[in-house]
Amino acid sequence: MREWAVSDFDYDLPDALIAQYPLENRTASRLLLVPCHIARQDMTFDALLDQLQANDLLVLNNTRVIPARLFGQKLSGGRFEMLIERLLDNQRALVHLRVSKKPAADSVLLLDGDIRVRVIGREGALFLVEWLTDESPLLFLERVGHLPLPPYIERSDELSDKTRYQTVFAQEVGAVAAPTAGLHFSDALLDAIRAKGVQTATLTLHVGAGTFQPVKVARIREHKMHFERLYVLAELVEKIAQTKAAGGRVVAVGTTVVRALETAALSGRLMPFSGETDIFITPGFQFKVVDALVTNFHLPQSTLLMLVSAFAGYDRIRAAYQHAIAAEYRFFSYGDAMLLTRCEETSVRSEGC
């Protein structure tokens, strides 16, 4: 089996191809079709309708992004930025802090909007904090929080991001980053997909800020993944079983759906799942559930680029990215998308056997 290095997943991307704003029309993004045995095709996202079959099942992540970026100052006067990783309950949260000097336990921080927070302690790289207010965290986040746009979007969040950095099917509150493959879908496109006979279903994986953390080791097997909370319900498990029995495909919208479904099938059989996952999907992984994947273009040397390389084959992904750069596709969260099909030979090829 090949020993994969992080450098195997590097590529050069011109800054001009990093999308800073979404297109006005969600479905106007470009879609790169990357099938198994025929040539790549360039199309617009609404042409996805023609690529789906009546007995397919389209699985969506219905997580909703919270305004998780907060600003404030220490009582000593120094400014800080806080990014919520996870709300634990109505009083506590795990957060990232960007501050000149890390606060000690029992320190009190003053957030903009006159909210006081007590630092309870550390949990690894995160801080455990307690809100010193009777106001619901979700209410004060809506009042004073900012949408946590990814670090490669070099601007502050704007009013339009409140809707455009959410999918049209977002329901379950808890993510601090959007499941961005879903941003390309409009209600009209989903209606047309269903009218064609394609079933849709949802699961929930609350995307954490760790999705943007760089891989800091040379060999990917040494990387430690972050945890994310997910819910795969029995109704979805049954729908997938029926789809497979009828010869249809399970089409995942986004890498978060892949992570959720393949976590729920780690025992060898897809089962309902409620809990956390730190699954790390790299070339050689044996997929058990997902047959096709709608996904955006991912950061160089990222765990998500490793996932799609595992899914569609390392060489196929390298070639697809080279094509996308040459054709000036828009990259990352507000960028364009690909439709990938899992091929029978993918796992063998990915291992370099």
CA distance 155 to 276: 32
Regarding whether 346 and 203 lie in a shared domain, the answer is yes
Beta bridge partners of 201: 59
DSSP annotation of 226 reads: P
Give the whole-angstrom CA distance, residue 78 versus residue 335: 36
- CATH number of the domain residue 136 falls in: 2.40.10
Tens-of-pLDDT digits for all 353 residues of the chain? Answer: 789 999 999 999 999 999 999 999 999 999 999 988 888 999 999 999 999 999 999 999 999 999 999 999 988 888 999 999 999 988 999 999 999 889 999 999 999 988 999 999 999 889 999 999 999 989 999 999 999 999 999 999 999 999 999 999 999 999 999 999 999 999 999 999 999 999 999 999 999 877 777 788 999 999 989 899 999 999 999 999 999 999 999 999 999 999 999 999 999 999 999 999 999 999 999 999 999 999 999 999 999 999 999 999 999 999 999 999 999 999 999 999 999 999 875 543 433 33
Do 132 and 179 fall within a single domain? no
Q: Which two tokens stand for residue 71?
A: 């600003």
Asked if residue 154 belongs to a domain, the reply is no
Residue 149 lies in a domain: no
**Do 140 and 195 belong to one domain?**
no
The number of residues making up the chain comes to 353
Question: The domain that contains 201 carries what CATH number?
Answer: 3.40.1780.10
In this structure, the answer to whether residues 175 and 223 fall within a common structural domain is yes
Residue 171 included in any domain: yes
14-62 per-position pLDDT tens digit? 999 999 999 999 999 999 999 888 889 999 999 999 999 999 999 999 9
Rg of the chain over Cα atoms, rounded to whole angstroms, equals 21
Out of 144, 174, 203, a domain closes at 144
Pairing of strands 199-206, 57-61: parallel
* Contact assessment for residue 59 and residue 198, using Cβ atoms and an 8 Å cutoff: no
Spatial contact of 119 and 101, defined as CB atoms under 8 Å apart: no
Residue 122 counted as domain residue? yes
Q: Is residue 76 part of a domain?
A: yes
Domain identity same for 92 and 109: yes
In a domain, 258, yes or no: yes
- The answer to the question of residue 136 being in a domain is yes
My answer on whether 50 and 191 are in the same domain is yes
CA–CA separation, 20 and 150 (whole Å): 10
Q: How many domains does the chain have?
A: 2
* Same domain, yes or no: 221 and 273: yes
Give 43: exposed, middle or buried? Use CB within 10 Å, 0-12, 13-18, 19+.
middle
- Tell me: do 12 and 139 sit in the same domain: no
**Whether residue 16 sits in one domain with residue 75:** no
Q: What are phi and psi of 28, to 5 degrees?
A: -85, -5
Per-residue exposure over 163-174, b if at least 16 CB sit within 10 Å of its own CB, e if not: ebbbbebbeeeb
The DSSP H or E segment spanning 139 is: helix 137-144
Question: pTM for the whole thing?
Answer: 0.94
Query: Which residues have CB under 8 Å from 261's CB, separation 6+?
Result: 59, 203, 232, 240, 250, 252, 270, 289, 290
| Residue 134 sits in the same domain as residue 95 | yes
Cβ-contact 77, 110 below 8 angstroms: no
Residue found by looking up tokens 């010193």 in the block: 132
Identify the domain containing residue 217 by its residue range.
6-65+160-350
Give the residue from 120, 144, 168 where a domain finishes: 144
Which two structure tokens, joined as six digits, stand for 22? 């979404």
User: Does 98 lie in the same domain as 168?
Assistant: no
The whole-angstrom separation of Cα 310 and Cα 180 is 19
* Contact assessment for residue 236 and residue 254, using Cβ atoms and an 8 Å cutoff: no
Task: Write out pLDDT tens, residues 79-120.
Answer: 999 999 999 988 999 999 999 889 999 999 999 988 999 999
Across-strand partners of 110?
Answer: 73, 116
Percentage of residues in the chain having pLDDT higher than 90: 86
Distances (CA, A) of 339 to 16, 196, 263, 276: 23, 18, 21, 27
For residue 185, what are the contacts with CB-CB under 8 A and spacing of at least 6? 26, 27, 60, 167, 168, 169, 253
Residue 153 lies in a domain: no
Which of 88, 120, 144 is at the close of a domain?
Answer: 144
> How many other β-carbons are positioned within 10 Å of the β-carbon of residue 257?
30
CA atoms within a 13 Å half-sphere pointing along the CA-CB vector of 310: 23
Tell me, yes or no, whether 121 and 43 share the same domain.
no
Residue 33, C-beta contacts closer than 8 angstroms, at least 6 positions apart? 40, 41, 42, 43, 51, 338, 339
Residue 200 to residues 65, 204, 243: CA-CA distances in angstroms?
21, 14, 11
